[in-house]
């Protein structure tokens, strides 16, 4: 059976950096259609669910380590159009619970959030996305939005029956 590690966290928290150091079959957020560039595509959540189930089919047959950059928590957190039903999400969590799964939530100290989230590699397109994404929330500032997102990752992990660890970078 595969040992599945899922890396979750806000932009700039170090998910990609940690993923690069880990052994096993690796999938980056873009491989899972969880890149921020995908988030505003209508009905992307339904496409992600189908893809995630295919990934789990493959992982269930795999022997060894599998590491995913983003998965179940990011799926729920990026579903700001509310396409994800509780039943569908529960089925996904049930499948994960049958595997040797651990979630690592990468966190960033408040003083470093904006510097890390606005890393030069993201560019102007990222800035525009963040402004657009905030429109779907109650927040008016990027820092408040990102800090709330970080708290939501932790809160979601606590309510799901899967082992998790919180790591500050």
pLDDT value of residue 78 = 87
Of residues 6, 56, 12, the one with CA closest to residue 36: 12
pLDDT in tens, 103-143: 999 999 999 998 888 777 777 888 888 888 888 788 888 89
> Hey, what are 26's tokens?
């690796």
Neighbours of 19 (CB within 10 A): 18
pLDDT in tens, 134-147: 887 888 888 999 99
pLDDT value of residue 155 = 97
What's 10's domain CATH number? 3.40.50.300
Domain tally for the chain?
1
Q: Which residues of the chain have pLDDT under 50?
A: none
Contact 72, 96 (CB under 8 A): yes
Domain with 87, as residue range(s), is 2-168
pLDDT value of residue 130 = 84
pLDDT value of residue 74 = 94
Rama region for 60: left / alpha / beta (φ>0; ψ in -120 to 50; rest)? alpha
- The pTM of the full predicted model, rounded to 2 decimals, is 0.92
At which residue do the structure tokens 């189930």 appear?
53
């Amino acid at each position: 059976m595969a040992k599945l590690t899922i890396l979750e966290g806000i932009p700039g928290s170090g998910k990609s950096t940690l993923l690069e150091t880990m052994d096993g079959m690796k999938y980056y957020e873009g491989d899972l259609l969880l890149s921020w560039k995908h988030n505003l595509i209508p009905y992307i959540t339904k496409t992600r669910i189908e893809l995630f189930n295919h990934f789990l089919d493959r992982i269930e047959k795999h022997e060894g380590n599998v590491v995913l950059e983003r998965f179940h928590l990011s799926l729920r957190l990026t579903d700001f159009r509310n396409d994800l039903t509780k039943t569908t999400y529960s089925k996904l969590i049930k499948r994960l619970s049958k595997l040797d799964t651990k979630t690592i939530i990468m966190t960033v100290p408040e003083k470093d959030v904006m510097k890390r989230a606005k890393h030069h590699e993201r560019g102007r397109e990222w800035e525009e996305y963040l402004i657009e994404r905030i429109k779907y929330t109650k927040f008016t500032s990027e820092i408040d939005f990102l800090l709330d997102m970080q708290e939501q990752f932790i809160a979601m992990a606590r309510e799901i029956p899967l082992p998790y660890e919180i790591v500050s970078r």
